[in-house]
Structure 1
Amino acid sequence: MEFAAADAHAEASDGGFAQLKSRARNAGYAIIAYIGIAAVMLVFEVLALTGQVDLYAMVPETLAVTYGFAAIAYLLIFLVSVVLVSMWIYRAHANLKERGIETESSPGMAVGWYFIPFANLIKPFQNMRDLWNESHLESDSYGEPAPGLINAWWACWIIGSILSNISARMEGYGDGSNMVVANGMGAVSSVLLIACAVMLHRIIRQITHAQDTALHVSQVFD
């Protein structure tokens, strides 16, 4: 009976690791698509900043119309990316829980913290640090400092998001000088968020690899 239970647990864990790889792949595709459309948006912002196109003219130019469609595509791809990355985060934390490893947040809350105001400024970072360290079998996961990659990822996300929000608010005023500053901040924001996406892609790959190797092998010998 004990062997049967152990085999069943091993099969469930194997399924969790396989599911994590599948979700990592899907999230990776979405992130790459996001990077692509964000780069397109950045080009438009630079063109607006240099005065080569007016994205908010009363009678839109062809490029301004194209920018509008690109903005819609950006929003849709971003939302899809949020869903797929959230699914990966949930599964990665669930794998640890199924192995008996306690983390600061449950799999559900590891995702939920991203959507809770103020808490989403720090809790997602702490949970990603926790996930990274536990997946790499660090001795004191929550007490260990975060790797530079995760620090840089979160810094780019926070600063990029703040600049994006300020830029959007300034665009609402419609004043010429404000628009120049808004476009400049929007361009800087896009660069930071693209960098954030590139680093998130690496984080997902490395944590997935760690769980599929170090964590998986450790379980086999437990």
Structure 2
Amino acid sequence: MSGSTRDPTPLGRAVIVLLWIYAAAEVIFFILEFMRLAALGQAESDMGANLYFQTYGADAEVLLGLFSILYLLTYAMAGIVTLKWIYRINLNAKALAPDKQVSPVWAVGWYFIPFASLFMPFKAMRETWQISRSPDTWREEPVPALLRWWWGLYIASSSISLASSRLDMAAATVGDMALASLLTLLATPLTLALCLVLMRIVRRISETQTAKLPGATSSAEIVALAEVSG
């Protein structure tokens, strides 16, 4: 077994905390977006965006813009730590089953490759789930509906959020802006469900890997070794 294996539990706990923070930010963003939609409802749908800002929407847009900065920070923090956890569990899975097809690096890298990002990250997570439960016979291990829910929610929420963002940036009229807001409101419940499903996956994979990695270096052991060597 590779000496690079590590207990994924501490990272998993960090992921769950950050997902809760991100979910809270998502709820606040939903409320602000609803306020924006209410302001948009006061204007004619064919009114130009610039005239709308001057007449109706200055307060709502400023408030939404300021919170968007905090929202993006929580998204980035949750995303970075989640990807770090994904790398860690895939590294552990590769140590448990060297015939694992998706490497730890590509388990993260595929998220940033167009088209392949639609299915390869799911394959990496599926392999890791199977190996974590049954390293010796992992190919026969069934794939739970939980993983399919996670990936379906991820694709749906990401696609709707991307469409909303692009429409909002290109909006020329109040009608365009209202449609972008409606898409954002639609994406929110999907994103919240995604967070909850991902939290469950993080817990279950972290627990099963911890049980299957008796030789792994836990976070507590790392601290103890550092104290002794110091």
- TM-score when normalising by structure 2: 0.78
Paired residues, what number? 205
Q: 1:63 to 1:123 in 2, by over 3 A?
A: same
Distance 1:145 1:187 in 2: 35
Distance 2:205 2:20 in 1: 18
Give the deviation of 1:65 after TM superposition.
2.4
Distance 1:194 1:72 in 2: 19
Give the deviation of 1:124 after TM superposition.
0.5
Letter in 2 for 1:58: F
Q: Which residue of 1 aligns with 2:191?
A: 193
Letter in 2 for 1:94: L
Q: 1:160 to 1:142 in 2, by over 3 A?
A: farther
- Can you list the C-alpha shifts for 1:124-179, whole angstroms capped at 9, x where unaligned? 01111111111111775456553111111111111111111111222222322222
Q: Which residue of 2 aligns with 1:27?
A: 15
Q: Which residue of 1 aligns with 2:34?
A: 46
Q: Among residues 102, 123, 131, which one is paired with 1:126 in the alignment? A: 123
Higher relative contact order (CA 8 A, sep 6+): 2
Q: Do 1:167 and 1:183's aligned partners in 2 also have CA atoms closer than 8 Å?
A: yes
C-alpha RMSD over aligned residues:
2.6
Distance 1:170 1:97 in 2: 41
Q: Do 2:36 and 2:61's aligned partners in 1 also have CA atoms closer than 8 Å?
A: no
Q: 1:91 to 1:62 in 2, by over 3 A?
A: same
Q: 1:173 to 1:211 in 2, by over 3 A?
A: same
Q: Which residue of 2 aligns with 1:167?
A: 164
Between 141-150 and 176-185, report the one with greater CA deviation.
Answer: 141-150
Q: Is it true that 1:65 corresponds to 2:84 in the alignment?
A: no
Q: Do 1:53 and 1:63's aligned partners in 2 also have CA atoms closer than 8 Å?
A: no
Between 175-184 and 157-166, report the one with greater CA deviation.
Answer: 175-184
What fraction of aligned residue pairs are identical, expressed as a percent? 28
Gaps of 5+ in 2: 43-48, 217-230
Give the deviation of 1:77 after TM superposition.
1.3
- Can you list the C-alpha shifts for 1:65-113, whole angstroms capped at 9, x where unaligned? 2221211111111111121111111111111222344322111111111
Q: Do 1:53 and 1:64's aligned partners in 2 also have CA atoms closer than 8 Å?
A: no
Q: Which residue of 1 aligns with 2:224?
A: none
Distance 2:134 2:206 in 1: 13
Between 148-157 and 99-108, report the one with greater CA deviation.
Answer: 99-108
Give the deviation of 1:53 after TM superposition.
8.3
Give the deviation of 1:180 after TM superposition.
2.1
Gaps of 5+ in 1: 1-8
Letter in 2 for 1:195: A
Q: Which residue of 1 aligns with 2:176?
A: 178
- TM-score when normalising by structure 1: 0.81
Q: 1:182 to 1:145 in 2, by over 3 A?
A: farther
- Can you list the C-alpha shifts for 1:167-195, whole angstroms capped at 9, x where unaligned? 12222223222222221111111221121
